[in-house]
Amino acid sequence: MRIGGDKEVAALLGISPARLKMRISAGAPVPPYMRAPGSKFRRWDLDAVEVWLAGFTVASALAPSAAAGHAAVSHRRGPGRPTKRESLR
């Protein structure tokens, strides 16, 4: 069991420690943490955090060959809003 603090967990999640604290206070989903009796600091089992993160893995809906072809397709934008000069004609 590897134990870490808010900074280590925030780094694993790719967010700032302040954002982690806001997510906890807002009731947003966060990995399980522990608080030792008499301590004001949260401690995290870093292995459990990694397992928690693995639960959010999303598989791609496209097959690998279709995904490669899909990335090559460019979507052309429309003409956009006319300029003032064009609208005065």
Beta bridge partner(s), residue 58: none
Rounded to whole angstroms, how far apart are CA atoms 81 and 49?
A: 48
Domain boundaries defined on the chain: 3-58
What is the predicted pLDDT for the residue at 44?
A: 94
Does residue 69 register a pLDDT over 70?
no
What is the predicted pLDDT for the residue at 71?
A: 56
User: Which two three-digit tokens encode residue 12?
Assistant: 């694993």
**Record: fold of 3-58:** Arc Repressor Mutant, subunit A (1.10.10)
Does residue 72 register a pLDDT over 60?
no
Instruction: Say whether 70 sits in a helix, a strand or coil.
Output: helix
Average of per-residue pLDDT across 71-77:
68
Rounded to whole angstroms, how far apart are CA atoms 36 and 20?
A: 19
Of the candidates 54, 43, 58, 59, the residue with the CA atom closest to the CA atom of residue 13: 54
Beta bridge partner(s), residue 3: 45
Does residue 76 register a pLDDT over 70?
yes
pLDDT in tens, 5-54: 999 999 999 999 999 999 999 999 999 999 889 988 999 999 999 999 99
